[in-house]
Amino acid sequence: MDTDAVVIAAGRGGGGDSRLHLVRDNAQVVRSIARELAGYRGLLVVVTNPVDIMTQVAVEASGLPPQRVIGTGTMLDTARMRQVLGQRLDLEARSIHMHIVGEHGDSAVPLWAGARIGGVPLRDWPGWNREDEPTIANTVRRAAYDIIRRKGATNHAIGLVTAALLRWALRGERRVLTVSRVQEGALGVSGIALSLPSVVSHEGAVEVLEPEMDETEREALERSADVLRKAKSEL
């Protein structure tokens, strides 16, 4: 196949249910497509939900190297979080450096400990209250469900994220993005696909980074990985 990238976005929507409820139905769809991509030399981008598990299914079915099969992961979650924080702090969202890692879904992990604004820790920002963090995280976590309830799908935002991912990757910009890929030991996670900040180029997620995390966040990431392992084991 003479293309630079293939995007898999096929599958049924969630209807407001947890993304993990879609596992069996969408795994069949992704598996059937990925099998046709054995030997493909370009970048395979997975959008179908639950995106972390579908990314792993695509790797297994295609036989492609894990770095060249990437899911949109928590890119949208991270963008939403920065937008919410920007509104709260009266700052441009791009001035806020924070990531959400783990599952694109209910067990996603906001990395408050490493969040920075102009090099200043978010938790040292004037007026910041740690007690507000769970409420903010829940607002971001529920955003997709609220959109689905109102309009039936979340196609616009994820479309923008996917287009940006392809543009940056195929131009070889080597941006750090919270894409999902099968992990191979970063932060002690291996054998499951989830999101961590990664250097993304036309060759895929070529380097997985290990961001600053406190103990609570590390434990939450382990729980997120366990949630995904359990769901994957039920296929």
Q: Count Cβ neighbours within 10 Å for each residue of 114-129 and write b for 16 or more, e otherwise.
A: bbbbeeeebeebeebe
21, 97, 99, 104: the catalytic one is 104
Tokens found for residue 108: 């996603």
Note if 202 is an active site residue: no
Rg of the chain, C-alpha, whole Å: 17
What is the Cα 4 distance to its own chain's centre? 21
What is the Cα 155 distance to its own chain's centre? 16
Short-list 91, 96, 88, CA closest to 112: 96
User: Which residues are designated catalytic?
Assistant: 104
